[in-house]
Amino acid sequence: MRKALLATMVLMAACGSPPAATPPPTTTQAPCPNVVTAPPSTGATDEYNSWLEERSMLHQAEIAARRYSATGQMWRHPYANPQPRAASSLASVWFTAYPASTITKQGDTVLKTLGDAELWKVFKDIGISGMHTGPMKKSGGIKGKDYTPTIDGNFDRISTDIDPGFGTEAEYKALTANAKANGAIIIGDIIPGHSGKGADFRLAERGYKDYPGLYHMVEIAEKDWSLLPAVPSGRDAVNVPPATVDRLKKDGYLVGQLPRTIFYEKGVKETDWSATDVVAGADGKKRRWVYLHYFKAGQPTFNWLDPSFAAQRLVIGDALHSIGTLGESMLRLDANGFLGIEAGKTPDERAWSEGHPLSITSNQLIAGTVRKLGGFTFQELNLTLEDIKAMSSGGPDLSYDFVARPAYDHALVTGNTEFLRLMLGLEKQYNIDPAGLVHALQNHDELTLELVHFWTKHKDDTFTFHGKKVKGSALRDTVRDEMHGKLLAPNAPYNLKASNGVSCTMVSLAAAALGIQPKDWASLTSEQKKDIQRAHLLLAMFNAMQPGVFALSGWDLVGAATLPADSVKKLLADGDTRWINRGSYDLLGTSPNATKSSSDLPRAFALYGSLPEQLKTPDSFASQLKKMLDVRTKYRIFESEQIEVPNVTAEGLLVLVHRLPSKKLEVTVLNFGKKPVKESVTIAASTSGATVTDLLENKPAGKIDGKRLALDLGPHQGKVLLLE
């Protein structure tokens, strides 16, 4: 066996680099398949290849790697195991920015605005200690020598350079310096699953060097081009119909259709595969490729198990640049659960593309490298609970809380915490520590209602819900139906259905939960505004009063409503409705007359107003949030251990019991219902006669009777109680 392996290695070494494309499996290969003869010089073509290579992320990664290889700085930090509590102690309250939605001062860049010293003073006053910038590196594509714009909010990265539309690298470094001066950190992004159609993809299409190995792309033999659909004029690729994918799988080209098609749109994206037009290669050969894209056609998927290991080199190089050059302390791994794929076990079975062991291995590699540099990572992974747990084994330090996010929103919308308590119970069953989670309000995405845990592996498992034993698939359908019924037209025409859930803001979700249908957002009465704010603060309290990280966005801070669909009609053309919940906002109120951001996103109606304005008023959203975060910090709730979720009688009631670092008990009580709640709840860990203090109001709140805690809550009210 060892001799055979050695012989293979010698053959590969003798033959040089991998071929530009693998011939169909039915073709007999030469003894040395990897030999590539130098293509004839083509003058302008050679110059174009060089132009692309200089701008490629793989090339930039190789330069970055040289600064770190064989140096002592790679051996100064432990890296084998995730360190969730160390990560959250670095910064336990995050502001999640969305660069394209940031309204700037006249003449200022987005980065200058986010790095404004006044903004950081306000953040420090409120209790925000970290900023997740969102993706800010150059994205989109290249056509000829022209750069084309991003097609997915800068999640189609093509360079390690800062997007000039947001500012400069010097301004980014000033942002990290201002954060540091206020005891805070900056959190960036790497996107390990795909790129945009930049220089790397254009070189891959041309069969140049290692670049085809970057992507899950397959050269289709010319004799089979007739199987592929024609590329429409003006485009560089076309979606491959399901029947054609099946045929290409049968012919040995592809692994087949995936279990689900994200952003499915009939006639636009019916599979996760697209075919290129005919492309003239660097060697003069003409080729057509079929490539994988989990998301949009402009986001080709990396191949994490190609002999060139080009994907690993590119992604690690991007991380080195973010930590070492930009000064970021933590990185989000976006869509990191889609790094492994293979054909199903039977000809009729769809491809295995989620929960694949290669994704776990790949994340361990990325997270371990970042920890070696002294940084941390968190994953935004919306899969089953066992997948979230498995991916955290040796992988990212923190995970986005997809366990509770749809569930706490469901609790508000229905006034019933049964599904939320079910999810918190499953969280404990799968040994997912809340201290390792990023508990968030709105982010740039829609309210995700895929409920993958009940959709895939556990669709036939039995759960107790609404007083009955039901299968996971039926539970999922019920929850989705309840959410869609309340959050979409005709009950809430200001929200839109998304491929994975509902496009809404926290304000528009709260309005829908309350049954508020304004003619327009400006017509809300003062009473309606108070009701919406109260519900919004309840959701903030649920997330903030847990161990781990609490994250909120600019849309949350100003109380942004959804945009009218007509105002972003062009952006919605491909079926992506998330743009209605990405309206622009002005945190400091420095540009009151601005109607849009520098990225042309219309200004959203802001229910609460700017932060300086809010902080002048004690009962504003920001002032109430500040009070909440003061308690969180003073009693180190972010470092606590969640030990109980007691049984309750009232449908809308939720009780969370935490053991603080001081060993005292903290109890968060939340009423998600529209009716007052009076109830006595058993706290198993409590001591009879223990005194109860209301921490938010800073006043005595009675004593424990036996082990019973008496509760009295108004509609959508929450309390934070200390037992001692």
pLDDT tens for 234-290 read 999 999 999 999 999 999 999 999 998 988 889 899 999 999 999 999 999 999 999
b/e per residue, 392-404, with b = 16+ CB within 10 A?
Answer: bebbbbbbbbbbb
CA distance 338 to 356: 8
Residue pLDDT, tens place only, 449-475: 999 999 989 999 999 999 999 999 999
* 383 band by pLDDT with thresholds 50, 70 and 90: confident
Q: What is the pLDDT of residue 179?
A: 94
How far is residue 263 from each of residues 260, 481, 573, 575, measured CA to CA in Å? 10, 20, 12, 7
Q: Record the tokens describing residue 329, joined without a space.
A: 């302390």
- CATH for the stretch 641-723: 2.60.40.1180
Q: What is the pLDDT of residue 278?
A: 97
Does pTM top 0.75 for this prediction? yes
Q: What does pLDDT average to over the chain? A: 92
| Bridge partners (DSSP) listed for residue 302 | 215
Q: What is the pLDDT of residue 516?
A: 97
Residue pLDDT, tens place only, 384-402: 999 999 988 899 999 999 9
For 49, residues 6+ apart whose C-beta sits below 8 A from its C-beta are 203, 206, 208, 282
| Four-way CATH pick for 84-190+307-333+361-632: 3.40.50.2300, 3.20.20.80, 1.10.150.130, 3.40.1160.10 | 3.20.20.80
* 717 band by pLDDT with thresholds 50, 70 and 90: very high
Element (H, E) at 96: strand 93-96
Residue pLDDT, tens place only, 215-236: 999 999 999 999 999 999 999 9
CA distance 708 to 702: 11
DSSP characters for 355-401? S-HHHHHHHHHHHHHHHHTT-EEEEE--S-HHHHHHHTSSS-SEEE-
- Greatest distance between any 2 Cα atoms in the chain: 88
What's the mean pLDDT in 278-304?
97
Amino acid, res. 463: F
CA distance 596 to 518: 23
Question: Where do the domains of the chain lie?
Answer: 84-190+307-333+361-632, 641-723
* Matching residue, tokens 């992506």: 576
**Is-contact 325 137, C-beta < 8 A?**
no
* Matching residue, tokens 């009729």: 348
How far is residue 115 from each of residues 170, 329, 410, measured CA to CA in Å? 11, 16, 36
- The torsion of the CA quartet 409, 649, 692, 407, rounded to 10 degrees, works out to -20
Neighbours of 66 (CB within 10 A): 10
**Is-contact 241 270, C-beta < 8 A?**
yes
Classify burial at 528, counting beta carbons within 10 Å of its beta carbon; exposed 0-12, middle 13-18, buried 19 or more.
Answer: middle
Residue pLDDT, tens place only, 661-706: 999 999 999 999 999 999 999 999 999 999 999 999 999 999 999 9
Q: What is the pLDDT of residue 43?
A: 53
Q: What is the pLDDT of residue 30?
A: 33
* Rg of the chain in Å (alpha carbons): 26
- The torsion of the CA quartet 648, 652, 653, 654, rounded to 10 degrees, works out to 100
Percent of the chain's residues with pLDDT above 70: 94
Residue pLDDT, tens place only, 314-347: 999 999 999 999 999 999 999 898 999 999 999 9
Q: Record the tokens describing residue 635, joined without a space.
A: 């009693």
For 501, residues 6+ apart whose C-beta sits below 8 A from its C-beta are 406, 446, 447, 448, 449, 450, 483
- The torsion of the CA quartet 57, 61, 63, 65, rounded to 10 degrees, works out to 180
Q: Record the tokens describing residue 621, joined without a space.
A: 């959203």
Q: What is the pLDDT of residue 20?
A: 35
